[in-house]
Structure 1
Amino acid sequence: MGRAEERRARQRGGHRAAPQRRRSEPAAAGRPAKGLIRRMFTWKKILGTVFTVCLLGILGFVGLYLYVDIPEGNAAAQRQSNIYKFSDGTILARDGEVNREIVDLSKVPRKVQLTFVAAENKSFYHDAGVDFRGTARALLNTVSGKGKQGGSTITQQYVKNFYLNQDQTVTRKLKELVIALKVDRETSKDDILAGYINTSYYGRNAYGIQAAAQAYFRVDAQDLTVEQGAYLAALLQAPSQYDWAVATPTGKRLVTERWNYVLDNMVEEGWLPKAQRAGLHFPEIKEPKGAPGLEGQKGYLVELANRQLEQHLMAQQGLTQSQAESAVIENGWTITLNIDRKKQAALEKAVKTELTGRLDEKRRKVDADVQAGAVSVDPATGRIVALYGGEDYYKHYYSNATRTDYQPASTFKPVILAAALERNATTQDGKPITADTVYDGTSRRQVLDHGSRVGFAPPNEDDRDYGKITVQNAMNASVNSVFAQMGVDVGMREVMGTAGRLGMDTKGMQAVPAQTLGSMGASPLEMAGIYATFDNHGYKVTPTILKSAENKGRSVDVPKAVGGSVISRTAADTVTSVLTGVVDDGTAQESVAGNPLRDGQQVAGKTGTSDCNRSAWFTGYTPDLVTSVGLFGEADKAGGTGCEGEPIKKGAHVSLKGAMGGGRVNGGGPPAKIWAAYTFGVTDKAAFDLNTTQGAAVEPTETPTWTPTETETPSQTPTSAPPTSETPSRTPSRTPSQTPPSQTPSETPSQTPSSEPPTTPATEGPLDPESGLGEPGQR
């Protein structure tokens, strides 16, 4: 025995072996018997269970395959009219003509055919008609309620369009799977592709490739180019969102990416030469045309009702946008709107009386560029009771009531004040921001962030200096320099956060001082919702046009339009109180306060006029009705140059100046007049129930809320100082909430750099001087 072996032997001998447990000794208390578990879960039993489950699944699928036959398909015949009703049940419109013309596949250029294959199903020509992995994923998501499904082949989508429906159920998906397998065996790939492109919905009320080619390019399907085909193929993923004429910047980006994806796939598959692909450009999309039977305002009302119903189906049933649109359009729905017939007629009459009836395109070219949009909401329920989308759905396809491409301008200022009040914000020297807080209203005053310039110095209307001015009077006169500084005092992130909670779509918006001028895009629908939330004491109002929607005996659950509190009642009521001053003593005084139909009705509201006078707004409310009216300059024809010297294209944003034979078109002009003519004819006299001690609707205090000192910064100056040049155009109808004292302070605070105007104008963002500089006019 070697030394190593001797050492190991000694080591073994130096330790006592653990005693072995007797067979009859029980296991330790609380510890499971391993033998029992091993006996229950043997490899044989596990494999047997898996095999049994698989065998049962296969037998079940075979049985389903034998049981389910290919049904008779006639998608066009199955289409039914949608019926749309006013809130009282009377018929508004029927939308029932299926815009489809079947074309033979031989009439569609080969490369255009391949764009659809490249977009949806690259393996189409050599698969069995089914994507088993995608279908399994869709089934699991449906069972677990995870929402939007995908992964279908062209064959499956054709089966769904032609033989089945858009329901997201396990039964429908299993039928789709079986029928797709049978169709793929019994039908040629060309026939399947032809059926797919002829039954799909492309938006603009167009079913099938022929109708789509006419709707988007004014050509027949046989004349489509590969660029145009790639657009139509990309469009199928989300027809309304990707329609270039009405798409948001996000929608345009997504459809462009999808268009590139289609063409790149064609190159990858060898269907398109790389050199040809490099020379292709995104096609020009033609303007849409209205569908028959939807003349006047009907089309705008139906369009919004369809859109909101689609959104509910997407949220509740997990449909994709394309599926939701196909499920709604001409599919036998009975849809009742919240639109009040009398209020709708009154709004249309007010627009005609105060605007369209005064336009004369032959005498004034600019009159052809004027577009109007309006939305009227009941703040207690969130119901849209009236809507104006444009002169005629046939003449102007997309709705001015819902478009978000124009600046809301100074109608955004109340949101800044709301953010300040909600957060109990202070000026940069720690003083509370209230309706009585005094700011420096010098035009082009540099905005400061704790002594540092932020590179923004907006002008006031007509470059007017107001000097020391209260927040109340600054709102009345719409003083840009005050609210630009207030936005920085509060914090622009907080301001934009408040805007989002109130109902503005702030995705992608930068939280920069220029936004204090309302330089983002917004619609009358959005602004009506924001002001309705103020009117409803801070409880979120999401305006809805849908009252009910029924289809084949089933009703869609329409969510409540009024939600929880998004800002405090005190903050909301204070904003309302302040906005009564805009009507009685400010920029809406002449058109609203002085209207003979007012009869003492309390009104709150705000005017707005964007840079270059491209848009003009008045959003106002009484205790029981909120209405936002917007006028938009949209070029009727190409030609000429814009405000910045750019060539004008058809549809471009242009100035409203000179419309109806006047000068600048301000929010206090036609928009406020339309608002007053409509509102005072349909509302009952009522008073605001306000929980606040601030603003023009509240009796003024006799003494200042605080005493100034000589060390105050420019964003907080003495409350006892009156505005230096704020003179109402007429005597106020009641005592203003902030009565200026007879004397100004004898000494200007030592730290007031804002009193020295900058030598250069602001460089950040578009300006909203309640319109252009150096010109008189209403605001």
Structure 2
Amino acid sequence: MSEARRRAVPARKPKKHWALRVLGWLAALFFVGIIGAVATFFIVYQTTDIPDPNKEFATNTTTVTFADGQQALGSFYDQNRHSVPLAQIPKHVQDAVTAAEDRTFWTNPGISPSGMVRAAWNIARGEQLQGGSTITQQYVKVMYLTQERTVSRKFQELFIATKLSRSQDKSKTLEGYLNTVYFGYGAYGISAAGDAYFQQSDPRKLSVQQAAFLATVLNNPSLFDINDPRASKRIVERYRYVLDGMRQSGTITQAQQTAYSKSLPKMNMKKKSNRFKGPNGFLLDMARKELQRLGFDEDQISGGGLKVVTTFDLKAQNQMVIAGTQELPKKRNNLHVGMASVRPGTGELVAMYGGPDFLKSQLNWATRPARPGSGFKPFALAAALKDGTSVWDIFQGDSPIEIQGQELNNEFDEDYGDVTLLKATEQSINTAFYDLVDNKMENGPAKLVDAAEAAGIPKTKALEIGRNNPSTVLGPDPYASPVDMANAYATFAADGMYAPVHTIKKVTGPDGKVLWSEKSLDKQKARRIDQNVARMVNYALQDVVEKGTGEDAKELDRPVAGKTGTAGGVAAEHRKANAACDGCKDGDDTLTSWWTGYTPQLSTSVLYRAGTTGEGDLDPYSSDDAFFGGGWPLKTWLAFMDPALAGQPDMGFQDPDEDELKDSPTPTITPSETPTSTPPAPPTSTPPAPPTSTPPTDKPSTTPTGKPTGKPTRTPPGWPFPTGGTPNTPDKPGGGDQ
């Protein structure tokens, strides 16, 4: 055979690169996955039945009990409902709701693909599941499913919403939604909402502005609470968003949108339920807010049939109400008391008194931040001990002291000579603490703030500004509330172990399943203050009781530690006159007065304030030189603690290391000024004798005669520069004293 006739050998095909083969397999798997997902979706879709509506939805009462789980505190069954047909709900009301919640309601398939992606992303990140983003999904969740937040429940919601959208007319779904959605204040449905906010139960009589407002709050009745001053900006922004959606849909014109956006409609709120009446209304309100922080939504809280066990002890609460309403000065008009008691080591809020009647005023004086005054000195003590300072180190006790070119004073310009840190704590000597924090400690104010936050004082903007404020040691700004102070001092009582303060012990669903327990807070408990530092603080604060500004606490007849605190400044009623005389009244008034005292079993803080906003002058309520914390606040504290601890063992505090109690022969910190006389050396086991001059007596007067004519001039001890106060405190606070 000739060469020409031979068949040519075909050329060998080159192999594909391995990367191309991998991409091919991945593409194949991707398409198989899509096909599988689509097939699964249609199988599940076909087998999903729309269940019967939740017939018990309207009667699922959430009950709240005291800590024993038996005694009723109250309930959140506030449901006010009256269904109306869609024909009686005008178009502008319907449009307002769809503009707020689901602008594609009339055209979407009942679910939101973007909402599904967002939910999947949150699941993948381990975050809390979000609610349905369409009106159909929200309606399905309320009427056909349970309120539990699980992956399976979320997928049920998606499939039922899709099927309902295909099988039921959209108008029917919107009608059901408008008659079941929660608008806050116990109002379920548009009719009840109109009645609650405007006392207008007929939707046909709601104006465009009223409809837009109701559509605004239904998104999150707690976040857009009209009675919460902090929510005002959010409400206006959301309200304008709703109006813009109504304009886009053609419901209103551009001119109407502009006119309506200028202000919210005038409210005509219906009277609140009596279940919040009295001092216990503050407990219910606080429990409700904590449930919201824990992730329970309004539907669950008001209509989910929950059983909520709080941390409040019935006996202790009753005793606190008696103390807060009866153990007061005779002059009580516009006088406010806030009290809180925390169990050390657990963070349980055992009792709280926020005011006499929640229905008359929602200002909770137990949770409202105030100037802690010298109540902040124990945190300075803790910071100094951590920094290596001894309680036997010597500091300047005479007044004034110069700090960064400014002269700062003791209360009434009292002189004490050179004093130990123990004596400075016992007698609450301002200049010694200025010397400690601002002269002897590097970055002293910042270390003080660290210690306060470690103990449990919340991190706030005002407190963070205090890192650069020389007068932070005297608590010149609203850093803490009685609840905060009680919990922070409880950290000392628990040998430095911090526990988050809370009001909820356990939440169970209608089926008895535990939905949340305080055990989940255990991971937040930690030793934030060194054990020996905490014990030294307890040792020093027991001296405050034994022979210092809190001597009357000895009447409890058991080991007690504590600290007085008052903050001076210019009261609201004197600020105009003070401005006219160029600050001549700076520091003349007592704005807050505290006693925070504790045993190993209970830490309780009592705060007195005056005036409509709590910025009035306390001094006219006492015949003493000033309204000191060792007076009425301590007396009110005793009226609670004595019966609250009755029958409990007389537990003492653990002693600090022996070496810490011994006097150092050579002080590690020298006095800031040359001492005029050598202070007596303290014995090995006992603190040094008190100075010859003593502070004004803090005993309360049962028959106040008003502000005495011969009241000494009170030189303001606080830093004279602005200290970052809240909008409610426009003056420059004078800081703390005794």
For Structure 1 versus Structure 2, the TM-score category normalised by the shorter chain is: 0.7 to 0.9
Report the alpha carbon displacement of residue 675 of structure 1 after superposing the two structures with TM.
0.9
In 2: Cα distance, 1:286 partner to 1:418 partner: 51
In 2: Cα distance, 1:615 partner to 1:128 partner: 59
Partner of 2:512: 553
Instruction: Name which of 347, 368, 373 aligns with 2:338.
Output: 373
| 2:446 equivalent to 1:493 | yes
> Contact (CA 8 Å) 1:155, 1:180: kept in 2 or not?
yes
SS at match of 2:357: coil
Shifted more, 559-568 versus 281-290: the winner is: 281-290
SS at match of 1:627: strand
**1:159-198 CA distance string (max 9 Å, x none):** 2223223322232222222222333345555554454344
Partner of 1:632: 609
In 1: Cα distance, 2:503 partner to 2:156 partner: 36
Report the alpha carbon displacement of residue 138 of structure 1 after superposing the two structures with TM.
0.7
In 1: Cα distance, 2:656 partner to 2:625 partner: 40
> What do you get for the CA RMSD once the two structures are aligned?
4.1
Written as runs of structure 1 = structure 2, the 5 A alignment for 1:304-453 is: 304-312=286-294, 314=295, 324-355=297-328, 367-397=332-362, 399-401=364-366, 403-424=367-388, 432=389, 434=391, 436-439=393-396, 441-443=398-400, 445-448=401-404, 453=405
In 2: Cα distance, 1:216 partner to 1:665 partner: 42
Question: TM-score, normalised to structure 2's length?
Answer: 0.77
**1:338-379 CA distance string (max 9 Å, x none):** 333332232222223302xx65xxxx6xx3423322221221
In 2: Cα distance, 1:108 partner to 1:761 partner: 61
> Contact (CA 8 Å) 1:657, 1:664: kept in 2 or not?
yes
Written as runs of structure 1 = structure 2, the 5 A alignment for 1:276-287 is: 276-277=257-258, 280-281=262-263
Partner of 1:471: 421
Report the alpha carbon displacement of residue 441 of structure 1 after superposing the two structures with TM.
4.8
Q: 1:252 to 1:569 in 2, by over 3 A?
A: farther
Report the alpha carbon displacement of residue 59 of structure 1 after superposing the two structures with TM.
2.5
Partner of 1:592: 553
Report the alpha carbon displacement of residue 505 of structure 1 after superposing the two structures with TM.
1.9
In 1: Cα distance, 2:659 partner to 2:565 partner: 21
> Contact (CA 8 Å) 1:435, 1:694: kept in 2 or not?
no
> Contact (CA 8 Å) 1:200, 1:208: kept in 2 or not?
yes
In 2: Cα distance, 1:719 partner to 1:538 partner: 38
Q: 1:129 to 1:523 in 2, by over 3 A?
A: same
Written as runs of structure 1 = structure 2, the 5 A alignment for 1:42-81 is: 43=24, 46-74=26-54, 77-81=57-61
| 2:467 equivalent to 1:517 | no
Report the alpha carbon displacement of residue 689 of structure 1 after superposing the two structures with TM.
0.8
Report the alpha carbon displacement of residue 230 of structure 1 after superposing the two structures with TM.
4.8
* AA in 1 matched with 2:34: C
* AA in 2 matched with 1:496: V
> Contact (CA 8 Å) 1:470, 1:719: kept in 2 or not?
no
SS at match of 2:222: helix
Q: 1:372 to 1:221 in 2, by over 3 A?
A: farther
| 2:611 equivalent to 1:681 | no
Instruction: Name which of 605, 608, 619 aligns with 2:596.
Output: 619
Partner of 2:535: 573
Partner of 1:746: none
Written as runs of structure 1 = structure 2, the 5 A alignment for 1:265-284 is: 265-266=245-246, 273-275=253-255, 276-277=257-258, 280-281=262-263
* AA in 2 matched with 1:504: I
In 1: Cα distance, 2:338 partner to 2:293 partner: 22
> Contact (CA 8 Å) 1:461, 1:769: kept in 2 or not?
no
Partner of 1:582: 544
Shifted more, 214-223 versus 67-76: the winner is: 214-223
In 1: Cα distance, 2:591 partner to 2:716 partner: 26
Partner of 2:494: 536
**1:662-718 CA distance string (max 9 Å, x none):** 8854322222111112212333323211315699xx6x749563584xxx646xx65
Report the alpha carbon displacement of residue 131 of structure 1 after superposing the two structures with TM.
0.6
Report the alpha carbon displacement of residue 480 of structure 1 after superposing the two structures with TM.
4.1
Question: TM-score, normalised to structure 1's length?
Answer: 0.73
Shifted more, 296-305 versus 675-684: the winner is: 296-305
> Contact (CA 8 Å) 2:66, 2:73: kept in 1 or not?
no
Shifted more, 129-138 versus 507-516: the winner is: 507-516
Q: 1:391 to 1:383 in 2, by over 3 A?
A: same
| 2:158 equivalent to 1:177 | yes
In 1: Cα distance, 2:297 partner to 2:133 partner: 16
* AA in 1 matched with 2:559: Q
In 1: Cα distance, 2:38 partner to 2:432 partner: 73
Report the alpha carbon displacement of residue 762 of structure 1 after superposing the two structures with TM.
0.9
> Contact (CA 8 Å) 1:409, 1:768: kept in 2 or not?
no
Report the alpha carbon displacement of residue 140 of structure 1 after superposing the two structures with TM.
4.4
In 2: Cα distance, 1:564 partner to 1:215 partner: 45
* AA in 2 matched with 1:557: S
In 2: Cα distance, 1:707 partner to 1:739 partner: 20
* AA in 2 matched with 1:167: E
Shifted more, 103-112 versus 505-514: the winner is: 103-112
> Contact (CA 8 Å) 1:134, 1:150: kept in 2 or not?
no
Partner of 2:285: 303
Report the alpha carbon displacement of residue 209 of structure 1 after superposing the two structures with TM.
4.2
Q: 1:739 to 1:280 in 2, by over 3 A?
A: same
Report the alpha carbon displacement of residue 71 of structure 1 after superposing the two structures with TM.
2.9
Structure 2 unaligned segments of length 5 or more: list them: 1-10, 572-589, 694-714, 724-731
**1:104-152 CA distance string (max 9 Å, x none):** 4676675555444333333334333321121133134325523252671
> Contact (CA 8 Å) 1:457, 1:758: kept in 2 or not?
no
**Identity of counterpart residues, as a percentage?**
30
